[in-house]
């Protein structure tokens, strides 16, 4: 019996659980170190379809609802992930259990829904191609994602939802016939959202340097019948050239390549770089209504390369604001990025519950909020 199936059987029932999707039944309740002592009895109970006390396994729902302890955590690591618990993971769960904890069922759901479990049980073949799954999202469009991608795809695979506050903001900005630019499109969530909103008379220009992401976005556009979407495999910058793309899941960091580097540059891909102004001109886009830019700290380069369009069209901007990435880049800083947006004549507000688009937040508050939260914010920039 496979390890994960044995864990489910011992705790209450055996459920067919697609990896990374629906919740299964609870994990092995015995302490992992003491499991060998009573393993024969537990295995016999699972084989006979009855618990050790004689009750049918299906009647042992109480175990599913029992408070989890650290022994359950260790057992989940061993039986579901096939490895010993790491120090950091144990520290995380020790703190969580001390704060109020979780039930055994909640714990097993987390492990079965984890990226590590999905990778272990879906991609067991060495050299296997990246996974791909077509997800019907809560917004109604179909999106092809890599369910093993911890950055974006896994969340969408599990929930059909992605960045709901930013999604609501983009929805509020677009109308039939509008043109939307998705700079840093990733797998295409916002591009597909926009395509449905602007309709066949509108346009969506998706720009993404990761060719794997671009392939998923193109499949999504085709399967949704969105002929108004164009996907460009390129990095947006302040000038034409090439960049090395160092990926972190489906996200990535660009490093401009202006010539032979003095030392090796870690990279997953080397891709062409261009300005947004030149790309739009080549695509025959005469006017832009809204731009979403999320490029892991390279936002200043995108704005510099879009100077003509920004001055001409004054589009609404939805931007990630990630001070750590901006401050560690060679082309600017977090404060410099805010200064640039101010010079362009934009007011800034934080995207989130209760946001007021008419409010212009001061820079000190934006920097403080970013550091107090997850280290980053999503900003709505509207022309003054």
- pLDDT tens digits, residue range 254-268? 887 777 777 777 778
pTM for this model (two decimals):
0.72
pLDDT of 32 = 30
163 and 193 in contact (C-beta within 8 Å)? no
Q: Which tokens hold the place of 306?
A: 């879009």
pLDDT of 236 = 97
For helices 104-112 and 3-11, the axis angle rounded to 10 degrees is 160
What residues contact 70, with CB distance under 8 A and at least 6 apart? Answer: 90, 93, 94, 97
State the Cα–Cα distance between residues 293 and 310, nearest whole angstrom.
Answer: 13
Torsion, CA 61, CA 62, CA 67, CA 73, rounded to 10: -50
Q: In terms of pLDDT, which residue wins out, 104 or 34?
A: 104
pLDDT of 193 = 98
pLDDT of 109 = 80
Per mean pLDDT, which range of 36-40, 249-253, 283-287 is the poorest?
36-40
For helices 39-48 and 3-11, the axis angle rounded to 10 degrees is 80
State the Cα–Cα distance between residues 181 and 191, nearest whole angstrom.
Answer: 8
Buried b or exposed e, range 299-318, using 16+ CB within 10 angstroms: bbbbbbbbeebbeebbbbbb
Helix (H, G, I), strand (E, B) or coil at 37: helix
Element of type H or E holding 102: none
* Domain ranges (residues) in the chain: 3-122, 133-383
State the Cα–Cα distance between residues 299 and 279, nearest whole angstrom.
Answer: 16
The domain made up of 133-383 is a member of CATH 3.30.360.10? no
User: What CA–CA distances, in Å, run from 107 to 27, 162, 211, 341?
Assistant: 8, 23, 36, 44
Share of the chain above pLDDT 90, in %: 56
pLDDT of 192 = 98
Q: What is the mean pLDDT of residues 209-229?
A: 97
Over residues 11-29, the pLDDT tens digits come to: 332 222 223 322 222 222 2
Q: Which tokens hold the place of 125?
A: 């073949």
State the Cα–Cα distance between residues 156 and 178, nearest whole angstrom.
Answer: 26
DSSP 136-157: E-TTS-EEEE-TT-TTTHHHHH
Q: Which residue has the tokens 């120090």?
A: 87
Q: What is the mean pLDDT of residues 60-81?
A: 84
pLDDT of 62 = 60
**Helical residues (DSSP H) of the chain, grouped into ranges:** 3-11, 39-48, 61-65, 70-76, 87-98, 104-112, 115-122, 153-159, 164-173, 189-198, 211-224, 276-283, 299-304, 307-313, 323-327, 334-343, 363-372
């Amino acid at each position: 019996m496979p390890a994960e199936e044995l864990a489910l059987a011992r705790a209450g029932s055996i459920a067919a659980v697609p990896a990374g999707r629906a919740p299964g039944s609870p994990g092995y309740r015995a302490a992992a170190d003491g499991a060998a002592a009573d393993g024969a009895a537990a295995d016999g109970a699972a084989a006979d379809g009855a618990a050790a006390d004689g009750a049918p396994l299906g009647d042992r729902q109480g175990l599913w609802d029992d408070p989890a302890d650290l022994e359950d955590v260790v057992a989940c690591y061993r039986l579901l992930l096939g490895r010993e618990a790491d120090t950091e993971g144990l520290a995380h769960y020790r703190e969580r259990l001390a704060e109020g904890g979780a039930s055994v069922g909640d714990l097993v759901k987390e492990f079965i829904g984890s990226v590590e479990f999905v990778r272990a049980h879906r991609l067991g073949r060495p050299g296997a191609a990246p996974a791909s799954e077509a997800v019907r999202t809560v917004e109604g469009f179909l999106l092809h994602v890599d369910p093993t991608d911890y950055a974006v795809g896994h969340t969408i695979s599990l929930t059909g939802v992605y960045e709901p506050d930013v999604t609501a903001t983009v929805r509020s900005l677009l109308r039939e016939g509008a043109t939307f630019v998705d700079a840093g499109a990733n797998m295409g969530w916002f591009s597909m959202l926009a395509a449905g909103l602007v309709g066949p008379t509108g346009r969506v220009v998706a720009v993404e340097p990761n060719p794997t992401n671009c392939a998923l976005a193109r499949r999504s556009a085709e399967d949704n019948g969105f002929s108004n979407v164009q996907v460009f495999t390129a990095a947006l910058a302040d000038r034409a050239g090439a960049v090395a793309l160092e990926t972190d899941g489906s996200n990535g960091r660009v490093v401009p390549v202006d010539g032979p580097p003095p030392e090796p540059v870690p990279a997953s891909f080397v891709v062409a770089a261009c300005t947004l102004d030149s790309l739009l001109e080549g695509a025959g886009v005469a006017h832009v209504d809204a731009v979403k830019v999320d490029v892991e700290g390279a936002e200043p380069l995108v704005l510099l390369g879009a100077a003509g369009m920004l001055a001409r069209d004054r589009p609404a901007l939805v931007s990630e604001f990630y001070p750590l990435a901006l401050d560690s880049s060679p082309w600017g800083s977090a404060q410099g990025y805010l200064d640039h947006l101010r010079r362009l004549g934009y007011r800034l507000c934080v995207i989130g519950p209760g946001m007021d688009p008419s409010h212009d937040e001061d820079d000190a508050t934006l920097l403080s909020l970013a550091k107090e939260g997850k280290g980053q914010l999503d900003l709505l920039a509207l022309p003054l």
